[in-house]
Amino acid sequence: MQFSEFLNVLRTRWKLIAACVVLAVLAATALTLLTTPVYEARARIYLSAEGRGGDAARSTGSVFVLTSDDLDTYVSILNTPAVLGPLRKELGLATGHPINVSAEVTGSTSILNITARSSDPKEAAAVANEVGPQLGAVAGEFSTLLKSSGQKVVSTPIQPASAPSRPVSPDPVRNIGLGLLAGLVLGIGLAFIRHALDTKVRGEEDIRAHSDAPMLAALPLDRSSTTGLVSVEDDPHGRHAEAIRRLRTNLMFVDVTTGRHSFVVTSAMPGEGKTTTAANLALAMADSGRRTLLVDADLRNPSVARTLGMEGSVGLTTVLLGEAEVRDVIQPWGSHGMDVLPAGPVPPNPSELLGSAPMEELLRSLVGTYDFVLIDSPPVVPVIDAVVIERLTGGLLMVVATDRTRKKDLAAALRQLDTVGARVSGFARNFVASKAEGGYRYGYHAYEQEVERETRRARKTKTRSRT
C-alpha cells in the first residue's frame, strides 16, 4: 500500500477513527472515575539487635548487627498473620481488614523501605509507620540465635511516613492517554479492515485502481432539491447543473482527440444514473450552441422518453426496421435546441439491431448532421449492447455511482470492454455527496453563459447573412 492510499483511507474513514478514539477516551475516563483511589505511603526504618541481661556487655545495651539472612526473613514474614494480626490490633482495624504492605532491603545495610497502600491516606501512613515496631516485636521468634541469646530487634525510624495528598492509582493522565492511543490504534485498524472488506466504489481511488482513464466530473447528490431529473432545464444554477457543465467541458477536450463528436453513455450495472446523466449532458451541449442529438439505444429498458416526459412509441427501432424515416421520429425537447431519438418499441433482438449495418449507417448519418450525438446504452455487465455501440462512436463515458456501484461490477465491465479493445474515454462519478459550491464557480458559470450567448448570436448572424 502506498502512502497516498494510506492517507486516503484515513481521510475517508476519519469518522470511524474519531468515534473509536472518543469511545476509548470515554471508557478510560469512566474507568478512572469508578476506580477506588489508592494512596501510597513510604517509610524507612533501621533494624538492629540489642542484647539484654547476662554479661556486662549486654547489660550496657551493646548493639549486635543483623545479617542479610535475618533481614530477608523479616521481609518474608511481613505479610503473615504473625505481623498483620498485631498490626491490625494496634491500629484498631477489624479482623481480616485488608492491609497492603511491602518492604525491601536497601543494599547490604539493615535499612528497610516500607511501602503501604490503602484507600485511606491516613491509614496508609499509619500502617507504614507501625510496621517497623510490630516487625521488631516478633522478629526474635523467627531467629534461633536471637531467641537463644535473649536479644531483641529494635526498629528505629529514619524517615517516617506522612499521609499522601494525591492517589497513585488511578492515574487520569495515563489512563486517558492510553485510552487515546488504544482508540487510535483500534480506529485505524477497523478503518483498514472496513477498507479491505468494502465492496462499493467510494471515490476516485477505487476507480483508478482499475483504470487510468480521466475523471471528467463529480456529479453531486442533492437531496434537498425538489426539481426534476433534468437539472440543466429545471435548476440551471444548481450544483448538479454546474457539475454537468463541467462534464460537458471536459468531454469536449476528450472529443478533440477523437474528432468523431459522438459518445456512448453507459454504466456497469443498472440504477447508476446513466440515463439522467446522458439527458442532462445532451441538454448542456445544446445549451452551448451545438446542435445536439440524444439517442436512446437502450432497447431492453428504454427510459429516455420517460425521463424527459415525451412520446416514445416510435423511435430508433422503428427507423432500423425501415418503418419510418429518422427525421420523422426525432423530437425536439426543451428550449435549448436539443433533439431526441427515443428507443421505440422493444425488439426481441436488441444486440443484433444495434450491431447491424443499418445502425452503423444511421449513426454515420446522424454524426454528419449534428454537431454532437450522445447515445444512452444499456449497462455493460448484464448485456453486450454498449460494447457493440462503442465501436460506432468516438468514445465511451462510464457513469459510476458513488457508494452504490460495486467494485467487482466495475472491474467486470472494464474487463469486458478491454477484451474487445474498447477503451473508456472518461468517468463521471454520480451521486457524490458534497458541500455547496462556492461563489467562484457560480461566477465562472455566469461568464461561461455570456460566452455561450455571444456564440449563439454570432451563429444566428452568420445564418441570416447566408440567407
**What is the four-CA torsion angle of 103, 109, 110, 111, rounded to 10 degrees?**
-50
Q: What is the pLDDT of residue 181?
A: 96
Burial class for 87, CB neighbours closer than 10 Å (0-12, 13-18, 19+): buried
Model confidence band, residue 50 (pLDDT cutoffs 50, 70, 90): confident
Query: Of the candidates 107, 132, 119, 124, which has an alpha carbon nearest to the alpha carbon of residue 41?
Result: 124
Q: What is the pLDDT of residue 64?
A: 58
Looking at the domain assignment, is residue 279 inside a domain? yes
Model confidence band, residue 6 (pLDDT cutoffs 50, 70, 90): confident
CATH of residue 48's domain is 3.30.70.1130
Q: Both 180 and 288 in a single domain? A: no
- 3-class DSSP state of 432: strand
pLDDT in tens, 326-366: 999 999 987 778 999 999 999 999 999 999 999 999 999 99
- 3-class DSSP state of 404: coil
Q: Both 246 and 354 in a single domain? A: yes
Q: Which secondary structure element, helix H or strand E, spans residue 274, and what is its range?
A: helix 274-287
Looking at the domain assignment, is residue 371 inside a domain? yes
Distance CA(340)–CA(293), nearest Å, equals 6
Looking at the domain assignment, is residue 456 inside a domain? no
Q: Both 30 and 104 in a single domain? A: no
Q: Point out the least confidently predicted range of 39-43, 301-305, 335-339.
A: 335-339
Q: How many whole angstroms from its chain centre is CA 416?
A: 31
- CB of 162 closer than 8 Å to CB of 43: no
**Where do runs of H (alpha helix) occur along 35-165?**
56-59, 68-76, 81-91, 121-139, 144-149
Cell of 172: 487520569
The DSSP symbol for 403 reads: T
Looking at the domain assignment, is residue 443 inside a domain? no
Distance CA(62)–CA(379), nearest Å, equals 105
Among 46-55, 137-146, 183-192, which range has the highest average pLDDT? 183-192
Q: Which secondary structure element, helix H or strand E, spans residue 369, and what is its range?
A: helix 357-369
Q: What is the pLDDT of residue 71?
A: 86
- 3-class DSSP state of 266: strand
Q: Both 191 and 223 in a single domain? A: no
Q: Is the pLDDT of residue 446 over 50?
A: no
Q: How many residues appear in the chain? A: 467
Residue 127, φ and ψ in degrees, nearest 5: -65, -45
Model confidence band, residue 221 (pLDDT cutoffs 50, 70, 90): confident
Q: What is the pLDDT of residue 428?
A: 96
**Where do runs of H (alpha helix) occur along 158-238?**
172-197, 204-208, 231-234
Distance CA(161)–CA(46), nearest Å, equals 14
Looking at the domain assignment, is residue 149 inside a domain? yes
How many domains does the structure of the chain reveal? 3
Query: What average pLDDT is seen over the chain?
Result: 85
Instruction: Give mean pLDDT, residues 5-24.
Output: 89
3-state DSSP helix/strand/coil % of the chain, to nearest 5: 50, 20, 35
Q: Both 153 and 190 in a single domain? A: no
**Of residues 157 and 229, more confidently modeled:** 157
Instruction: Give mean pLDDT, residues 369-376.
Output: 95
Q: What is the pLDDT of residue 316?
A: 95
User: Residue 253 belongs to what domain range?
Assistant: 204-436
Distance CA(96)–CA(127), nearest Å, equals 15
Q: How many whole angstroms from its chain centre is CA 260?
A: 41
Q: What is the pLDDT of residue 467?
A: 46
Looking at the domain assignment, is residue 165 inside a domain? no
Look up the pTM and report it: 0.62
Q: Both 298 and 329 in a single domain? A: yes
Distance CA(247)–CA(274), nearest Å, equals 13
For residue 170, say if its preceding peptide bond is cis, omega within 30 degrees of 0. yes
